[in-house]
C-alpha cells in the first residue's frame, strides 16, 4: 500500500499541475459546498426544509478533490453524503434546491427524497441509491460497458467506511480487478458509520490496505489536503483510462455533524471534533495556501464569498418559485412509455405489463 502524506513534499509542484484559474475554481467549489451545507442545515433546523439532511461538512476535501479529477464524459456514482462531489461534477444548484423542496424543476421532478439526486444525462452522476454500497456494483457495470465499447471513459464510485463491510463492496472490487475495469473506488472515511467508529467496523488498520486482496493499488490520503486528494485521484483516473485497471482510494476526514439532521453525534469525542474543526478544516487550509502563494488576495476571497452567496440565493429563489408537480406530472416518466416494458395502470388498480 502506498502512503501519500510525504509524496508531495518531494514533489516540486505544490499546485499539482493546476493553473491559477483552476485553483481559484477549486476554492470556489469548496466554499460553495460548505455554504450549501450550512444553509441547508439552518433551513432544516428552522423547519423550512422538509425531508432529511446528510451533512458532508468537513469532507469537502474528499468530495471536491476526487470529483475534480474526472472529465465531463466520466461518470460518478455517489451515495447519500456526496452532494458536494455531485456539485463539483456539475450538478446545477438551482435544480438541486428545487429537488430539496420537492419541485417540478428538481432532478426527479418533485418526486422522491432530496438525497436521491443525480443527473445521468447531464453531469453524468448516477442517482443516489439507498442500499449501501450499491453504487459500487453499478459503477462496475458502467466501467465494463466503457471497456467493451472501447471508450476512453472512467467510472468513479464513492461510499462511506461503514459500507465497506457489505459483501457488495468486496464483489465489486473483485470483479473490477479480474476484468481490469476503468474504475476508481473512493471510500470517504469520515471515521463513523452512524455511531459505529472505525475500530468496530473493520479489523485492519486502514481500508486502503484491503486493496492488496484484490491486487490493485490502495492509497490512503489525508482529506484535509484537497490538492493531495486531487493528485491521487487524478493519477488513479488516468491510470484507469489508459487500461491500468482499478485503484482504491481511502480519503480520511471526520464527519463534523451527526449521521443526519436528527443526530447530535454525542458519541464523537469532543476533543477529536474540535481538533478537526479548528486545525483540520480543508476549506480554510486551502484558502490559506492560495493566499500564501498569492494565487488570491483578500479582495479575491471576498469576491468568491460574494459569488457563493449570490449563487445560493438565486438558486434558492428559483427553487421556491418552481411549482409542485400536479396531475400527470406526478407519474410522468415512471414507466417506459414506448418500450417493451411498457406498464400502464390497470382498470382494476395496480399495474400490468403490455
Residue 345, strand partner residues: 351
In the complex, the smallest distance separating the C-beta of residue 257 from ligand TPP, rounded to whole angstroms, is: 10
Q: How far is CA 325 from the centre of its chain?
A: 27
- Is residue 131 within the footprint of ligand TPP (CB under 6 A)? yes
Give 258-289 as a DSSP string: -SSTT---TTS-HHHHHHHHHH--HHHHHHHH
Write a three-state SS string for 50-62.
Answer: CCCCCCCCCCHHH
Which residues 6+ apart lie within 8 Å of 244 measured at CB?
Answer: 180
Q: Between residues 135 and 183, which has the closer beta carbon with respect to ligand TPP?
A: 135
Q: How many of the other CB atoms lie within 10 Å of CB of 232?
A: 30
- Residue 169 near residue 133 (C-beta atoms within 8 A): yes
CB of 129 to ligand TPP, least distance (A): 9
Q: Where are the alpha helices (DSSP H) in 68-220?
A: 83-89, 93-100, 135-149, 167-178
Residue closest to ligand TPP (Cβ):
160
- Kindly tell me which of 159 and 219 has the beta carbon lying closer to ligand TPP: 159
Between 172 and 304, CB nearer to ligand TPP: 172
132 near ligand TPP (CB under 6 A): yes
The pattern of x and - marking residues 246 through 285 that bind ligand TPP according to CB under 6 A reads: ---------x---x--------------------------
Which stretch in 17-25, 116-124, 190-198, 293-301 sits in contact with ligand TPP by CB under 6 A?
190-198
Which positions lie near ligand TPP, rule CB under 6 A?
Answer: 81, 130-132, 159-163, 166, 188, 190, 192-194, 255, 259
Amino acid at each position: 500500500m502506498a502512503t501519500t502524506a510525504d509524496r508531495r513534499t518531494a514533489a516540486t509542484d505544490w499546485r499539482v499541475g493546476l493553473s491559477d484559474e483552476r485553483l481559484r475554481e477549486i476554492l470556489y467549489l469548496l466554499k460553495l459546498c460548505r455554504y450549501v451545507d450550512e444553509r441547508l442545515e439552518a433551513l432544516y433546523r428552522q423547519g423550512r426544509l422538509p425531508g432529511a439532511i446528510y451533512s458532508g461538512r468537513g469532507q469537502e476535501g474528499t468530495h471536491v478533490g476526487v470529483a475534480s479529477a474526472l472529465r465531463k464524459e466520466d461518470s460518478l456514482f455517489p451515495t447519500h453524503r456526496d452532494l458536494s462531489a455531485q456539485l463539483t461534477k456539475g450538478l446545477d444548484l438551482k435544480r438541486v434546491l428545487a429537488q430539496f423542496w420537492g419541485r417540478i424543476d428538481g432532478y426527479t421532478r418533485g418526486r422522491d427524497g432530496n438525497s436521491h439526486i443525480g443527473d445521468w444525462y447531464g453531469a453524468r452522476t448516477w442517482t443516489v441509491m439507498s442500499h449501501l454500497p450499491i453504487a459500487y456494483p453499478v459503477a462496475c457495470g458502467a466501467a465494463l460497458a466503457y471497456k467493451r465499447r472501447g471508450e476512453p471513459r472512467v467510472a468513479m464510485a464513492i461510499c462511506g467506511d461503514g459500507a465497506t463491510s457489505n459483501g457488495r463492496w468486496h464483489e465489486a472490487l473483485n470483479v473490477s480487478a479480474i476484468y481490469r475495469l476503468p474504475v476508481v473506488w473512493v471510500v470517504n472515511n469520515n471515521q463513523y458509520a452512524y455511531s459505529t467508529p472505525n475500530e468496530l467496523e473493520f479489523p485492519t488498520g486502514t481500508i486502503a490496505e484491503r486493496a492488496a486482496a484484490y491486487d490493485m493499488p490502495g492509497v490512503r490520503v489525508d482529506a484535509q489536503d484537497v490538492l493531495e486528494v486531487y493528485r491521487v485521484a487524478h493519477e488513479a483516473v488516468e491510470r484507469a483510462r489508459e487500461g491500468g485497471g482499478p485503484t482504491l482510494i481511502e480519503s480520511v476526514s471526520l464527519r463534523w455533524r451527526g449521521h443526519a439532521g436528527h443526530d447530535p453525534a454525542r458519541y464523537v469525542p469532543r476533543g477529536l471534533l474540535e481538533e478537526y474543526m479548528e486545525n483540520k478544516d480543508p476549506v480554510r487550509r486551502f484558502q490559506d495556501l492560495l493566499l500564501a502563494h498569492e494565487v488570491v488576495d483578500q479582495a479575491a476571497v471576498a469576491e468568491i464569498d460574494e459569488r457563493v452567496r449570490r449563487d445560493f440565493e438565486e438558486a434558492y429563489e428559483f427553487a421556491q418559485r418552481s411549482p409542485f408537480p400536479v396531475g400527470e406530472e406526478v407519474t410522468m416518466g415512471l414507466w417506459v412509455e414506448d418500450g417493451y416494458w411498457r406498464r400502464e395502470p390497470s382498470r382494476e388498480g395496480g399495474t400490468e405489463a403490455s
